[in-house]
Structure 1
């Protein structure tokens, strides 16, 4: 490996040098570098935002380099995640990981991962081998840059990669421990925005795509931005740390994003215990049981062993026993090991037909697909492995299901043709903000009545309504306008309620209520750093009981304008006055700026935030947790953004909110977080000349 000197050359160039001379220098330099790199070499070009651009001589080499790159950017995190996916984290790091290990082992993740690895086709299995080899090679050569505590996980095996994927997808996204047995401290804050705009709705006449997942800013939820170029692929996008392929991506011909869909891919069955087993179809069945040994590292470094009895019914593993009942978990996709290859082949597709052919494998257990391409096609697919259920609606299957009969035990999945899907709607646009597929565009094109009632619920929240409003009210959306809409912090809920709340406060309120009304009337109804009134409104919303608060509930007949109105204005004003008094006492003013109270922080960088909870109808989502001095710190929300226009060449801007590395002394240095606070995106460099002109480091293998 050798380090290129391009960045040093550019630092020495005077800012006053004529553009022509700069261009000539660049041409000469690029030409010399092209000849210097053998066709037999693989390289990583790191740009100034810490994004690795991987150029592989073949696919195996590209996977190797991607493993290396992820270690350089997130080595400590990656090894810790792989240790957890093995179910041995308590053995490595202590009792705080014991619940995690129990969950991983009870759900059979390590054993199933070994099986999944073995059944990959030989070519793709060799890619996984290469990815693991890249991880181990980096660790071998740069052990001094890795935390000693996580080195116990080394060497990484390709089975670890599969186990991590399995834990992330099936046992965090499809079903989260909190939803089942309360293992995690808080519920999963997972969401996303996705837009696809057809040429008919685009100012340039080109299709456009917005990718914008919202996830926690820590742990296995961190996004990693990269470009992968090798024979048959040139894709740019992002994936979660530890995943060896891009999960959201675009190439010269097409692109897609995912949103967390209203997908029910798991059920908890209540079993009636009898003898050493459980009752099923009038008979008593025995559990399939095995006893595993858990090792737990003690504070003195010794290991203590604990036994874990894992029971399985015909439904799945027993995750809880109490009051002579057992609760068994059933999850989709445990027999479909082709997720990684499906994502890889999606990124290699060249048109809609090829892309859908890959999607029809249905290896990905969930996630909406929002798609756009160079030819102007756009698509919304409610993607996922959806069980064929005998009866019941979405609400029924969200509850505890009787496990004493085969009538409730699903065994088959709906085929691709059964899934809600629309291509090229007349509206010219598609959106999803984690709402059901029925609201993807207007006039509505996917009709809920045409699908089983358990497919998805029926609702449209305020963030979805805000999303649709921005798309529908602008007949021709430009690339720059899409970036501006992406960063919109306007609160749809405020637009819906202030016309009731302000006059009610003046009618029923005391002095502080009337002053609060004045603040809310002057407020810009946004959650920008300098917005005054947003704190007051958001905290009022938090204190309200919304089950009966609206005078007009949500209606399928008016999905974009309901719910509306205050059912009890006098009570709403009383809540407003109590909140106003607290705001004034805590922050010294009713109109304290949003960014004084809500912050974004990474390391030593502490900046005023913009954006807020999607429940307020904000498109720019940030979720906060209490911090010191009655402030709040962003812990989830906007995490990766990509805005793509399928022009010639493709135009794109992107940002990874918290930066593209978690290792100490990374390239990023907080640069992307500062851009995040300013509502900026960075240019996406995909062509070699562009990348070399913004080079931070070059590694050749």
Structure 2
């Protein structure tokens, strides 16, 4: 029996050793980062009554150092997630879901893109990123108790740049291509006017899906939130934007930024202002991991963004040899580039090392999968902005532009891969640019660019993007107003001012879709004789629906639905709804739940509509279980929740006052996670006076600091549809200062 005891002891020792290794290996295995070059930075951080930081410095680099410190003080948790993503280590924090990002990090060669192109950026841009990295490093060194992951710091400018290379493609829908290729589902890449839900007239409805299982529907299943959306949630990123010229407003030039982003995580907005002695003076918001704002305004001009959906991704099916080690191109076999990577995947207290192969061809990243007959299939993807990093410099230059001409010069570089830009300035100019680094596809070849292309033809492998003169844009339309609500660029400024789709090549793949928000905005803006503050505010916070597109599909299904008892009562309640999500009608709560399903199906280009009867039964059951009735006030159902603050909300999925997606809490309430996020309203007076602005965030500046007074201090204003002042000018900042300090790395 002694040998059994000795064997058991040895096994226990082995298990302890194995556990120790799995619990500790990842930080030591991680890639080493060379710290930024030694340089002294000094910045002043002044916080106003809402905790919003205003960061000052002698140089732009000093300010960028202060931006990192201020943001880390408010949300170091999310910043660490973003840094981990930029190093391919997010799975060590977020487990399997985080490892998905790490795999895509390797698949898209985000690190390689940064290594190849970061050294070529202008010196002052690199100085900005090195200073920002230095600020993150300093905060990490001084707050070791907050670190989530060993050896995550130091970081350098190249690390920060790699995060940009990873995240940008998801804003134009790359995940909607990668996911079907991995799972074997059909690609959902529909752009033409013959697709249901496209503008101007309703096409026949798509067939309804078979009844789903009795499991909780996706939008009513509580799930963990990651730092950056992937899959369906990424495809729901949206926004509204408005610009109004003085002749239409009757006074100032207006610019309204109304972004719809996740309220937390790696693409949640962070508000701040910057000012340096080198002429950088800007107020707006960024995403965690950026040294500069992505939208907002300076003294002279401002802009905001909305997500657009051009055809930015091409898919090529490769012809493989017998052992899948090579692919055919122009009649010759080429070796398939293969790289093995280790993905850290946290499982409770241990981190498992998972080995995966990453493949690439001359086309770009390659997705390998097993066909039904057991053979290997390979699909290469190539997307707009691939292997480019100059967006880092373009955004920086946009921050410092002083005129429409300078601003357009930066966009004309086609360095920023996607998103619409809506612009206004002190001279009363307004503009709209359908910005997208659309692939420069040859038009004289026989190819279906929206299908799966043959991978054996090099003439289908394009280089670079189309020119700035080829994409849609409007400057100072006769209507005096411009808007975008994630709609096609051909409805932007009203009848007589809009662009014509016939003037643009179909090879560009410009989307031809509308949203309910777009239909409402277009109608309300067109009807208004004057777009003054009161009128424009009513449009921005409009909660109405048009019975068209997917809304019409849903209500048509309700009208033909056979039902009995409580289900018939619910159906009839919806059929008598006033199509306004204002929390006043008895059908508002039920409509909120139903519309979300159909909006998702339309926005994701899903091949089938949900089953109306099945969905209605699920949502009726939910309301009965948690409220005891099918017609509770919608404000009791939809909530804005953070800490101890719990407030009612109105609006819905795809209303101009947007409450897009939610988590279902244990009490059955819907806790908003995506919708109206950072809102900024800027005005340049017609008499040449100084710019002023107001803004709001859903929660507060210190979004992950429960002990901060700014954890929830903007929530009541947000829920009441109110804005707070932005203190842009230094004397105004000093007049509202609640804290003031100098930060430096000098020792």
TM-score range relative to shorter protein: 0.7 to 0.9
Q: Which residue of 2 aligns with 1:104?
A: 105
1:114 aligns with 2:168: no
1:290 aligns with 2:290: no
| Aligned positions of 1:205-220 closer than 5 A | 206-220=252-266
Structure 1 residue 218 displacement after superposition? 2.8
Q: Is the 8 A contact 2:91 2:344 kept in 1?
A: yes
Distance in structure 2 (CA, Å) of the matches to 1:585 and 1:291: 50
Deviation of the 1:683 alpha carbon: 1.1
Asked whether 1:645 is paired with 2:687, we answer no
Query: Which residue among 640, 664, 671 is the counterpart of 1:600?
Result: 640
Task: Please name the residue that 1:449 is paired with.
Answer: 502
Shift of 1:578: 9.4
The yes-or-no answer on 1:587 pairing with 2:627 is yes
1:688 aligns with 2:741: no
Equivalence for 1:166: 165
2:246 equivalent to 1:199: yes
**Counterpart position of 1:316:** 364
2:650 corresponds in structure 1 to: 610
Residue segments in structure 1 that go unaligned for 5+ positions in a row: 1-39, 549-570
Q: Indicate conservation of the 8 Å contact 2:439/2:463, yes or no.
A: yes
Once the 2 structures are TM-superposed, how far is the Cα of residue 91 of structure 1 from its aligned partner? 4.9
**2:52 maps to 1:51:** yes
The alpha carbon displacement at 1:293 in A equals 4.1
Contact 2:440 2:463 in 1 (8 A): yes
1:606 Cα shift?
2.2
How far does the alpha carbon of each residue in 1:639-666 deviate from its partner, in whole angstroms, 9 at most, with x for none?
Answer: 1111111122212111122322233223
Q: Aligned partners of 1:87, 1:523: CA distance in 2, in Å? A: 49
* Partners of 1:99 and 1:509 in 2: CA distance: 43
* Structural RMSD (CA): 3.5
- 1:528 is aligned, of 582, 585, 593, to 582
CA distance in 2, matches of 1:441, 1:45: 40
Question: Using the alignment, how far apart are the partners of 1:683 and 1:338 within structure 2?
Answer: 34
| Structure 2 SS opposite 1:334 | coil
SS at match of 1:350: coil
How far has the Cα of 1:130 moved from its partner? 0.8
State how far apart, in whole Å, the 2-side matches of 1:417 and 1:89 are. Answer: 40
Give, in whole Å, the separation in 1 of the partners of 2:346 and 2:542: 48
2:485 to 423, 427, 433: 433
- Count of paired positions: 633
Shift of 1:299: 5.1
Kindly report which structure 2 residues correspond to 1:316-355, keeping only aligned pairs within 5 A, or say none.
316-323=364-371, 324-355=376-407
* Other-structure match for 1:265: 312
Asked if the contact 1:116/1:162 (under 8 Å) is kept, the reply is no
Please report how far the alpha carbon of residue 495 of structure 1 lies from its aligned counterpart in structure 2 after TM superposition: 12
Question: Match of 1:181, SS?
Answer: helix
Alpha carbons 2:113, 2:388 under 8 Å: kept: no
Matches within 5 A, 1:619-634: 619-634=657-672
Aligned position for 1:143: 144
Correspondence for 2:713 among 647, 664, 671? 671
Q: Which runs of 5+ in 2 are unaligned?
A: 1-40, 184-228, 603-610
Structure 1 length-normalised TM: 0.82
Deviation at 1:94, TM superposition (A): 5.1
**TM-score, scaled to structure 2:** 0.77
Q: Distance in 1 between matches of 2:668 and 2:103?
A: 36
Look up the SS of the partner of 2:320 in the other structure.
strand
Per-residue Cα deviation, 1:213-244 (whole angstroms, up to 9, x for no partner): 11222321111111111121211111111111
Q: Which moved more, 1:485-494 or 1:574-583?
A: 574-583
Contact conserved, 1:512 with 1:581, CA < 8 A, in 2?
no
Q: Where do residues 339-378 of structure 1 align in structure 2 (5 Å cutoff)?
A: 339-378=391-430
- Which deviates the most, 267-276 or 635-644? 267-276
Residues 359 and 613 of structure 1: is their aligned pair in 2 closer, same or farther, counting only changes over 3 Å? same
By how many angstroms is 1:378 displaced?
A: 0.8
**Residue 267 of structure 2 aligns with which residue?**
221
Bigger shift: residues 78-87 or 537-546: 537-546
1:501 and 1:572 in contact (8 A); partners too = no
- In the alignment, what sits opposite 1:553? none
Corresponding residue for residue 537 of structure 2: 483
Residue 31 of structure 2 corresponds to none
What does 1:79-98 correspond to in 2, within 5 Å?
79-91=80-92, 97-98=98-99
Distance 2:124 2:526 in 1: 46
Offset, 1:340: 1.8
For 2:522, the equivalent position in structure 1 comes to 468
Structure 1 residues 255, 573: CA separation in 2 closer, same or farther (over 3 Å shift)?
same
SS of equivalent to 2:738: strand
Alignment partner, residue 285 of structure 2: 238
Q: Taking structure 1 as reference, are residues 112 and 523 closer, same or farther at Cα in structure 2, changes over 3 Å only?
A: same
- 1:459 Cα deviation after fit: 2.9
CA distance in 2, matches of 1:494, 1:517: 19
- Secondary structure at 1:610 match in 2: coil
Mapped to 2, the partners of 1:380 and 1:506 lie a distance apart of 42
Check the 8 A contact 2:249/2:532 in 1, yes or no: yes
Taking structure 1 as reference, are residues 592 and 292 closer, same or farther at Cα in structure 2, changes over 3 Å only?
closer
Q: Distance in 1 between matches of 2:643 and 2:149?
A: 21
Whole-Å separation in 2 of the counterparts to 1:339 and 1:179: 28
The match for 2:78 is 77
- Give the whole-Å Cα distance in 1 for the aligned partners of 2:243 and 2:167: 26
Residue 699 of structure 2 corresponds to 658
Equivalent of 1:408 in 460, 468, 471: 460
Give, in angstroms, the shift of residue 544 of structure 1.
7.4
In structure 2, what is the equivalent of residue 560 of structure 1? Answer: none
Give per-residue Cα distances to partners, 1:506-551, cap 9 Å, x unaligned: 9999786896688669866432345432123344546779999xxx
